[in-house]
Amino acid sequence: MTEVQADVVIVGSGVAGALLAERLAKANVRVAILEAGPRIDRGKAFQRFVNAPIKTPESPYPPTQEADHPVGYDLDHWYRQSGPDKFKSTYIKAVGGSTWHWLGTCLRFLPNDFRLQSLYGRGMDWPIGYAELEPFYQQAETELGVAGDSEDDLGSPRSGGFPMPPIPTTYLDKVFERSLAGTRYQVRPTPQARNSVAREGRPACCGSASCIPICPVGAKYDAAVHVARAEKLGAALHEQATATHVETDAANRIAGIRFQRPDLSAGVARGRLYVIAAHALETPRLLLHSRSERNPDGVANGSDQVGRNLMDHPVQLSWALAGEPVWPYRGPISTSGIENLRDGSERRDRAALRIQISNDGWNWPTGGALSLGRALADAGLRGSALRDAAADQASKHVQLASMIEQLPSSANRVVLDGKERDLYGVPLPRIHYDIGDYARNGLAAARGVHNEVFGKLAATAIQHKEDFKGAEHIIGTCRMGLNPAQSVVDGRLRSHDHANLYLTGSAVFPTSGTANPTLTIAALSLRLAEELTGALQLT
């Protein structure tokens, strides 16, 4: 059996694990990273995307038996679901994690997002506040390389500017801004981890329009950047090493993490401190599988909260034909949004929402320009009439995507399937999921807002997706809190049950807010790096 030795063992090389590993390695801490997936070759992955008959976020990164994961075109491939709603967001297993196929949006949480229970009587409060996390948001924006407008804090007060100027807004953005002038809807450039200028060896965005699922030139940040930096500083990456069991000793401290490789050879990683940063589905799956006589309900689960409070940002998609050409299908998938609906007294009754103005036309709801020709041909158009109609319609495609706040619910949970297992003998994740009335009311409010916005664009052929979509924002399942009976980790992200175990990533979020979670994940991991550096000095 292979034995790995380090000061800190980290499970997962996504943005949470990668940032943590790089920051610790910079402090001369010996770090070992266990990653279930392989390294990604960008060129080969992009070619797989181009050749894929079904283009989903996972198409450049197909699942394998050795590193299986969910796929958007078949939500029953990996998940075992018991409803009443389907959980629709996915992830991949790879060095760099799901930042390979993320959009790059980097919004901070609002100060009030940390106090949902105190202010609105919903959900629960975080054990930390915005002011405590703000310095780490600033660091995270520098580390990821966020392009944004430093003169507009979007409701989250800043102690400094963005490291790069904003990505230029599109003509489509400008049409929305002009059409909504004087209304309550404020169109703003979206902060995003995408180079607006060449920076740190990566080029500026060239507008390839394939941010999801892959940036062909590496202008968009992915966590493989920090994995590489950590390795140069001495961190040891063990790719294709799937963590299968967390061991504890007689004092109920973590004693090691067992892993297996694709050839089923086994190993164990031992350290002084341990961090699980394996995403909000895989983290509870690993902890629940690590049952023992000492911990019959799984590791870190004395509260019975591991796997509970699964959340996403259910998405309301709406699309229409603008009253004038807006020339979509160019540039990053989104460069602007409507951000001033993310907080307010209505949160007592319904979910807040954040509106993404999409540059990719009807791609998400219908297949966009790729399906337009067939639809017009099926309607009987031929020749020049078909060509002219396609050109006219494609130039006017507009789409709005509202990300809806979801409340935590103990009934929304990930457990271990009773029958089916992966290659390594770990049960597949079984999910019970219901977005709840609070989010449904938010979806209804979003449809009303979309109608108003489209009205200002003199839009026709307005359509609303009847069912919600997944945002790929997998949140909750191992939440932080002050009360050990109601949470899995404390405000420092340390397990209530095991003194040398920490969790990080979106799994620890007590509530979802409306912001894409990645920047908050990054800020929490940078804060955790300070905590672990101090803890190591005391042991």
**What whole-number distance in Å separates Cα of residue 538 and Cα of residue 371?**
61
Q: What pLDDT does residue 539 have?
A: 65
Spot the catalytic one: 69, 101, 473, 498: 473
Is residue 473 among the annotated active site residues? Answer: yes
- Measure the CA angle with vertex 490, ends 524 and 506; round to 5°: 40
Q: What pLDDT does residue 54 have?
A: 83
Please report the domains of the chain, with CATH numbers, ordered by start residue: 2-538 (3.50.50.60)
Q: What pLDDT does residue 368 have?
A: 86
For 187, 325, 369, 391, 461, the CA distances from 395, given in Å and listed in that order, are 21, 5, 10, 6, 14
Q: What pLDDT does residue 221 have?
A: 98
pLDDT beyond 80 at 250: yes
Lowest mean pLDDT among 22-36, 111-125, 378-392, 477-491: 378-392
If we measure between CA atoms, which residue out of 481, 499, 501, 500 comes closest to residue 491?
481
**What whole-number distance in Å separates Cα of residue 317 and Cα of residue 403?**
9
Read off the pLDDT of each residue in 180-201 and give the average, rounded to a whole number: 97
**What whole-number distance in Å separates Cα of residue 424 and Cα of residue 258?**
11
pLDDT beyond 90 at 432: yes
Read off the pLDDT of each residue in 466-472 and give the average, rounded to a whole number: 97
pLDDT beyond 90 at 83: no
Would you say the pTM of this structure is higher than 0.95?
Answer: yes
Count of beta carbons in the 10 Å neighbourhood of residue 485:
10
Q: What pLDDT does residue 140 have?
A: 98
Contacts of 352 (CB under 8 A, 6+ apart): 341, 342, 343, 344, 346, 404, 405, 442, 513, 514
Give 333's DSSP letter. Answer: S
Whether residue 37 contacts residue 95, with contact meaning beta carbons closer than 8 Å, is answered with yes
**What whole-number distance in Å separates Cα of residue 319 and Cα of residue 465?**
9
**Average pLDDT value for the chain:** 97
**Burial degree of 154 (CB within 10 A; 0-12, 13-18, 19+):** buried
pLDDT beyond 70 at 334: yes
